[in-house]
């Protein structure tokens, strides 16, 4: 079987045409009516794997449409794509790279690439080095240049080098040790300087997370960190004791002043937004300890196994992907709200924004042709119950329908009082309310007055879809499985949409133009010869006048 991805326009499949018909047929029905017609719907439209239970029954989807979604997956070359991925095919074709982040959580993998390298062996070597380093820092054997144990760790990265480890450290805070872990990503000096407040350079360890060691934001922050460290400690400052590189560019790492022994590499078959499982996860390992970090990896591996070995009709990532395709391409829903009812998962929606929108936010297919159908949705969300008092008004009564993914753990790490019962009741109730709605008759039935001038505003349309993901407790393994679940879901959708999910050329143009704009910030530089438009030139000129106080804003 081919080790390349198929190149099939999904709209040309017979299943796609059938699904359009199903969407028209179901358009006038209600989800509640589907439950009435099928008493076993809740059980039939649920699945379980790697510690997670998925209920997708609250979607406007019947068995006929579901069967054709499975057919669509087959017609779009699902088996060929799966085989190419697992066997190390160069499926990231625009960058000529394999995609093997799953090996990061399965170091026993025996795959051998065409160049003779064995990713599993490479991963094992780095994991063992990470383990030795992490345990030495956590037990006080590894100390700063003045002999004091480390108390704080600052991760300097951006994108996948920040969003993943930050999310995971927040999610697994109940397992954190005494090391305080901080994250600086924004090139805005406020982020850096506010993080430094109260920190002691003698007990602070820096992780510089950049594959190329040239990322503008990360390296600007890294140089500021080094300057602060040196200025604070003077002759006592030894960069090699306090700085660690998570990178592949040995030359740049050494040039910066970091000891090569303190460099932990990863590989070009690891995309940034999938790198949490690699050395980029060093901050997480330092926070929760290496045994727990291995549990996190194992959770991801278990979800991989479920994904690869479970038939599509019972396969959690496939089911989430197909339901998402149905809502996006056939019911016309443009966004997806991810709603974790767990404060520890507060950064999970932000993490998924990159994972999903950077992967499938594409408008050109694998044949280089413009898409004639919709691809990835806009993904957003906040933890419950905070979101209920912010944007749920739109979810329930807005003019757009927003599919929702609810995420909940049956048990909390923070027992005491009724809090978790309140939280859980709200999660279940919100999913029910989105589906069920409330009719005018139901409003009148509970009204305390014969005439209610507000009754029209108390009606809820309902019929709004949602999925519900439930685990027993948010452990390292459960979080690993959850992250891997969404990774695979995103990939399945990319297969059907016929896009390259593992490149991200859309982030490059802004970086290139920033390099042209930067010289304009100096007085006297004109932008015409640099390809800068007149609007940008005028904005920069006003910025310069306001920065040096030549001019005051009007009205001040």
Q: Place 527 in a pLDDT band, splitting at 50, 70 and 90.
A: low
pLDDT at 547 over 90: no
Q: Do domains 10-97+295-439+459-505 and 115-293 have the same CATH topology?
A: yes
What local confidence, expressed as pLDDT, does residue 510 receive?
83
Q: What is the residue whose two structure tokens read 């753990």?
A: 409
All structural domains of the chain with their residue ranges: 10-97+295-439+459-505, 115-293, 506-547
**CATH fold group of domain 115-293:** Rossmann fold (3.40.50)
Residue 351: what pLDDT? 97
Q: How far apart are CA 207 and CA 212, in angstroms?
A: 14
Question: Which pLDDT score, from 0 to 100, does residue 283 have?
Answer: 98
pLDDT at 532: 82
389 is catalytic: yes
Annotate 21-62 with DSSP letters as a single string.
HHHHHHTT--HHHHHHH-TTHHHHTEEEETTEEEE--SSS--
Q: What percent of the chain has pLDDT over 70?
A: 98
Distance between alpha carbon 520 and the CA centroid of its chain, in Å?
35
Confidence (pLDDT) at 256: 95
DSSP H or E stretch at residue 321? helix 316-325
| For range 70-86, the mean pLDDT | 96
Cis peptide before 385 (omega within 30 of 0): yes
> What would you report as the CA-atom Rg of the chain, rounded to the nearest whole angstrom?
26
Q: Please confirm, yes or no, whether 191 is among the known catalytic residues.
A: no
Given 125, 508, 511, 526, the catalytic residue: 511
551 part of the active site = no
Q: Which of 170, 202, 295, 358 is catalytic?
A: 358
Residue 126 pLDDT class (50, 70, 90 cuts) = very high
Q: Estimate to the nearest angstrom the gap between the alpha carbon of 39 and the chain centroid.
A: 36
pLDDT tens digits, 318-372: 999 999 999 999 999 999 999 999 999 999 999 999 999 999 999 999 999 999 9
Sheet holding 335-340, edge to edge: 46-49, 52-55, 466-471, 404-409, 335-340, 378-380
pLDDT digits (tens, 9 = 90+) for 439-483: 999 999 887 777 888 999 999 999 999 999 999 999 999 999 999
DSSP string across 419-474:
HHHHHHHHHHHHHHHHHH-B-HHHHHHT-SSS--TTGGGG-B-----EEEEEES--
Which tens digit of pLDDT belongs to each residue from 13-24? Answer: 999 999 999 999
255: tokens are 């040039």
Helix (H) or strand (E) holding 541: helix 534-547
Those residues whose C-beta lies under 8 Å from the C-beta of residue 32, and which sit 6 or more positions away, are 435, 436, 462, 463
Check if CATH label 3.40.50.10490 holds for domain 10-97+295-439+459-505: yes
According to DSSP, the residues that pair with 472 across neighbouring strands are none
Model confidence at 525: pLDDT above 80: no
Q: Which residues pair with 152 in a beta bridge?
A: 180, 204
Residue of 550, 507, 530, 463 lying closest to 271 (CA atoms): 507
pTM: 0.96
Q: Is the pLDDT of residue 57 over 90?
A: yes
The catalytically annotated residue of 389, 441, 523, 554 is: 389
Closest CA relative to residue 465, chosen from 34, 6, 4 = 34
Of 493, 483, 505, 500, which is closest to residue 274 (Cα–Cα)? Answer: 483
* Burial (CB count within 10 angstroms: exposed 0-12, middle 13-18, buried 19+), residue 461: middle
């Amino acid at each position: 079987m081919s080790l390349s991805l198929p190149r099939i326009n999904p709209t040309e499949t017979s299943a796609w045409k059938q699904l359009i018909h199903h969407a028209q047929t179901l358009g006038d029905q209600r989800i509640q009516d589907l439950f009435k017609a099928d008493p076993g719907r809740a059980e039939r439209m649920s699945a379980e794997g790697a510690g997670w239970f998925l209920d997708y029954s609250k979607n406007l989807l019947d068995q006929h449409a579901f069967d054709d979604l499975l057919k669509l997956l087959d017609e779009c070359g699902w088996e060929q794509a799966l085989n190419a991925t697992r066997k190390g095919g160069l499926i990231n074709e625009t960058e000529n790279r394999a995609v093997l982040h799953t090996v990061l959580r399965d170091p026993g993998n025996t795959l051998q690439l065409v160049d003779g390298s064995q990713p599993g062996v490479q991963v094992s070597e780095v994991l063992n080095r990470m383990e030795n380093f992490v345990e030495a820092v956590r037990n006080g054997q590894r100390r700063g240049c003045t002999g004091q144990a480390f108390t704080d760790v600052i991760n300097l990265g951006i994108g996948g080098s920040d969003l993943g480890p930050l999310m995971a450290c927040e999610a697994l805070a109940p397992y954190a040790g005494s090391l305080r872990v901080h994250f600086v990503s924004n090139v805005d000096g406020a982020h850096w300087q506010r993080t430094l407040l109260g920190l002691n350079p003698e007990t602070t360890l820096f992780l510089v997370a950049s594959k190329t060691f040239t990322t503008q934001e990360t390296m600007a922050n890294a140089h500021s960190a080094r300057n602060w460290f040196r200025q604070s400690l003077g002759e006592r400052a030894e960069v090699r004791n306090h700085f660690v590189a998570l990178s592949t560019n040995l030359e740049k790492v050494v040039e910066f002043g970091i000891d090569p022994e303190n460099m932990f590499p990863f590989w070009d078959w690891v995309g940034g937004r999938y790198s949490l499982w690699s050395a980029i996860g060093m901050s997480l390992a330092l926070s929760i300890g290496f045994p727990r970090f291995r549990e996190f990896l194992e959770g991801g591996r278990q979800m991989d196994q479920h994904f690869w070995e479970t038939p599509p009709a019972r396969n959690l990532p496939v089911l989430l992907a197909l339901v998402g395709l149905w809502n996006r391409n056939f019911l016309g829903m443009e966004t997806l709200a991810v709603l974790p009812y767990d404060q520890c998962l507060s950064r999970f929606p932000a993490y998924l924004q990159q994972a999903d929108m950077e992967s499938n936010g594409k408008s050109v297919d694998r044949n280089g042709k413009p898409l004639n159908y919709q691809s990835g949705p806009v993904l957003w969300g906040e933890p419950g119950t905070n979101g209920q008092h912010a944007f749920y008004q739109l979810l329930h009564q807005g003019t757009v329908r927003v599919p929702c993914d609810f995420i909940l753990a049956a048990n909390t790490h923070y027992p005491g009082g009724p809090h978790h019962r309140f939280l859980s009741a709200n999660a279940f109730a919100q999913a029910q309310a989105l589906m069920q709605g409330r009719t005018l008759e139901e409003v009148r039935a509970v009204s305390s007055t014969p005439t209610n001038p507000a009754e029209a505003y108390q009606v809820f349309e309902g019929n709004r879809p949602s999925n519900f993901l439930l685990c027993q407790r948010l452990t390292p393994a459960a979080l690993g499985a959850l992250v891997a679940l969404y990774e695979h879901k995103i990939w399945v959708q990319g297969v059907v949409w016929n896009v390259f999910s593992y490149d991200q050329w859309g982030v490059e143009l802004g970086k290139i133009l920033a390099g042209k704009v930067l010289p304009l910030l100096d007085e006297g530089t004109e932008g015409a010869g640099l390809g800068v438009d007149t609007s940008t030139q005028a904005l920069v000129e006003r910025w310069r006048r306001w920065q040096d106080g030549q001019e005051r804003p009007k009205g001040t």
